[in-house]
Chains A and B, each alone.
Chain A
Amino acid sequence: MNWHQILTIARREYLAAVRRKAFLFTAIGTPLYFGFVMFVSIGPAAKEKLSALKEFNVLGVVDSSGLYSHAPNEIFTDLALAAPSIGAPMPSQMVRTQVVFFPDMPAAEKALRASAVNQVLVIPSNYLVKGALRRYARSSNLFSNADRQPIATWLVQGMIGNSLDSLRTARVARPTLGMDLYALDRNGQFELKDGKRDLVDFLLPFAFAMLLGLSITVGGQYLLTGVAEEKESRILESLLCTVTPEELLGGKLVGLGAAGLTLVGIWVAMGIPALGAAALAVKPTFPPGIILIALAYFALAYLFYGSLMTGIGSVTNNMREAQQFGVWFSFLNFAPMIGMSLLLAHPSGPLATGLSLFPPTAATAMMLRLMAPSSVVPMWQLGLSLGLLALAGWLALTISARIFRVGLLMYGKTPNLPEIMRWARTP
């Protein structure tokens, strides 16, 4: 192996990849797209919830139980408590909902259809025994349940009458509203587990595993398409007169892996301003050496997947065929993301441990385990996972180099599995 040749090839592959318009478009366009999606979905969602509460002005009630004959005819709701925001805390703001009683359902329905009331609450005669209630509205959407809380408060107030003051009534209606949970973090310190923390606890492992998986897949895809393209355009034969297949494979692995890392690096850099503010608010803790561990997993998993992708690229006849085969390996890489909730809930469970030791899923599964809240992965498992992945990467490289050497010069016919196996066995 001649390192001058490998580095020369790596440099060309890297520059050719990052200079493409598609690279620039993916690097800049992807974060912008996701930022735009977040902006147009999360922000309006919170606003919709608030506006649903603000517009809840009149509640019609048909009480067949007789339990609410003395219930108050208005409800006061604090928006700051009923619809807490994800960002900065909202100042207290009370909204009033008038309660109008109707003798029967037809009268209430008429008022609802005429928009005289926003909703109609029907309290059946056996409510006390069965607990069943019905609500009628002119329409419904994702945020129709935003006004459940004001109704719950009114039901409690109506039930207990004037035996409690308004403060106690509010507490009875939502007794756990202000209950905080403190749990040990991975440094052994108790930390507050509120809504924001829950979000970060979910998003941080997701982001780490996703970025690692993407950098492996992007580099692998570049390799797959690069080899298939060179084979299709018949460059390889004259190139192989100058360099060995192993040097060509090595140069491509290094150059295109670096291009994949550059892409993810740009995404991370673009995400820092947005994520940085959120991270500062909750001060997340990271396992020691997480960046080094992530880089080690990237290098080994990329070696594994990149080698496989190169092998596929060299036995197929064109790019489309290569991509059809390659997509299955990408699915395998991201498989742990499917069971992400389970892995985060039980980071030391048999599924999480098994997936983090199995080489094809090790990188993303271990990232989820490492970043799961309060999770501490035993060192021996980390070492074994990296060792097995390194072994799998070496095997994939050796076998792919053999397939690469023969497959590059085969044109017109995609070899069958026995043929590929025979090439793989030939030293």
Chain B
Amino acid sequence: MLEIQDVTKTYDGVAVVNHVSFEVNPGEIFALLGPNGAGKTTLIRMITDILKPDSGSIRLDGLPPGPERRRRVAYLPEERGLYKRSKVAEVLTYWGTLKNLSAADAAREAKALLARVELADWSDKQVQTLSKGMQQKVQLCTALIGSPRLLILDEPFSGLDPVNVQLLEDILSERRAAGATVLLSTHQMNKVEELCDRALMMHKGRMVLYGTVRDIRRQYADHAIVVRAQGVLDGLPGVRSIEVFNGDRKLVLEPSATTGSVLRAMLDRGIEIESLALAELPLEDVFVKVVREGLGMTPAQDVSLAEPVAVGGAR
């Protein structure tokens, strides 16, 4: 388990990471979100022990910073690079030996990983002869070798074609099933909704959203429900307006109305309901709303909202 407790990092008097606390459980895919300059990279560098926090603590499986913890962490940064003149298999074997594998084990694991990312035929080629997407898969392998307990991936999908995006999603699922913790930093909100159990959003160094992806979307949902039903909905008590889209109807409720009262009114009217759901905002809209409108957790809310939610509860 990754435990971040009240971590702060300041540069030139500006708190780039400001009292951030959260936990990520084993077997969880956790999203670290935020606009550019939110403090995500600094936080990741502190988790990977590249930078030291000014205050607070970071523990992985109870381990403080040090060689033992470093061996359990792998990081795929957004700005990527490899030894271009080296052979693909050599690069991976080197990374494996740095992760404390023997040369033979590292070579064996490198071979298996290259086969998994469909690059087995390229193992003896120089990195510079590979396409950008292929190089990205090799870089992913450098993060996967040594079976790290915590896998930190910064924008792992950028530059990949749909087939390789699917491949990466499969690999992440495999790693999750094997008990690894995955910390995913990305601006692709659809991938967060698709893959992640929980998310933390930072803005200007502070935590502004933290919880399950569904809870976050619900928290910012309009006071409305989306209904697919047979019958006339006009004039229902408690409904302010009705919008129609894709065969569904979105009922915007009066402030005093509840989902239950409107549901009862529909049943009383004999309307046959096929489906009913809260009108949640896509995560992308929540992101934009929080950043543009400066919403999210206030310092007073930090304590209550920072409580972790059970893994998988929203999925």
Contacts and interface: CB of A to CB of B under 8 A. Distances in A.
A218 B75 CA distance: 33
Interface stretch (B42-50, B55-63, B243-251, B304-312): B42-50
B85 interface: yes
Given A8-B97, A237-B75, A238-B75, A409 B81 contact: no
Contacts of A243: 70, 98
Nearest to B70: A242
Contacts of A2: 67
Contact of B85 (A4, A16, A241, A411): A16
B84 A238 contact: no
A244 B48 CA distance: 10
A12 interface: yes
Nearest to B98: A242
Contacts of A240: 48, 50
Contact of A235 (B48, B76, B82): B82
A348 interface: no
Given A234-B77, A234-B81, A241 B50 contact: yes
Contacts of A4: 100
Contacts of B143: 238
A346 B98 CA distance: 52
A233 B128 CA distance: 12
B185 interface: no
Nearest to A251: B98
Given A2-B67, A12-B94, A242 B99 contact: yes
Interface string A218-235: 000000000000100111
Interface in B79-103: 79-86, 94-95, 97-100
Contacts of B192: none
16 contacts: A8-B94, A16-B86, A233-B82, A233-B83, A233-B84, A234-B81, A235-B83, A237-B79, A238-B75, A238-B77, A238-B142, A240-B48, A241-B74, A242-B71, A409-B50, A411-B79
A362 B79 CA distance: 42
B98 A237 contact: no
Given A234-B81, A241-B50, 14 more contacts: A20-B85, A230-B81, A235-B82, A237-B75, A238-B77, A238-B80, A238-B142, A238-B143, A240-B50, A241-B48, A241-B152, A242-B71, A242-B99, A244-B70
Interface in A102-153: none
Contacts of A239: 98
A241 B75 contact: yes
Contacts of B82: 233, 235
Interface in A190-241: 230, 233-235, 237-241
A254 to B, nearest CB: 15
A57 interface: no
A414 interface: no
Contacts of B99: 242
A239 to B, nearest CB: 8
A241 B79 contact: no
Contacts of B71: 242
Interface of A: 2, 4-5, 8-9, 12, 16, 20, 230, 233-235, 237-244, 409, 411
A148 B73 CA distance: 81
Nearest to A231: B81
Contacts of A409: 45, 50-51
A8 B99 CA distance: 10
Given A16-B85, A409-B45, A409-B50, A234 B74 contact: no
A235 B84 CA distance: 10
Q: Which of A4, A20, A234 has the most CB of B within 10 A?
A: A234
A415 to B, nearest CB: 13
B95 to A, nearest CB: 7
A242 B84 CA distance: 19
A234 B80 CA distance: 6
A243 to B, nearest CB: 6
A299 to B, nearest CB: 25
A42 B73 CA distance: 63
A9 B99 CA distance: 12
Nearest to A239: B98
A238 B73 CA distance: 10
Contacts of A230: 81
Most buried by B among A9, A235, A238: A238
A16 B75 CA distance: 24
Nearest to A242: B98
A151 to B, nearest CB: 64
A237 B75 CA distance: 8
Nearest to A245: B50
